[in-house]
Amino acid sequence: CKLVEKLEGEVIGCAFVIDLTYLGGKERLKEYDVYTLIEY
């Protein structure tokens, strides 16, 4: 997301197939709308 913003793009959300909850990815991206199909 930061790379897109650096290139003056607009991030409206992030989508992932799997969220590995123990890695804390959603917490790191909490300023964006995050969508996942599976949480493990």
Q: What is the pLDDT of residue 37?
A: 97
Give percent of the chain with pLDDT exceeding 90: 95
Q: What is the pLDDT of residue 2?
A: 87
pTM: 0.70
Determine the Cα–Cα distance for residues 26 and 33; give it in Å rounded to an integer: 9
List the chain domain ranges. 2-39
**Ramachandran region of residue 8, left (φ > 0), alpha (ψ -120 to 50) or beta?**
left
Q: What is the pLDDT of residue 27?
A: 92
Q: What is the pLDDT of residue 1?
A: 84
Mean pLDDT computed over 17-24: 95
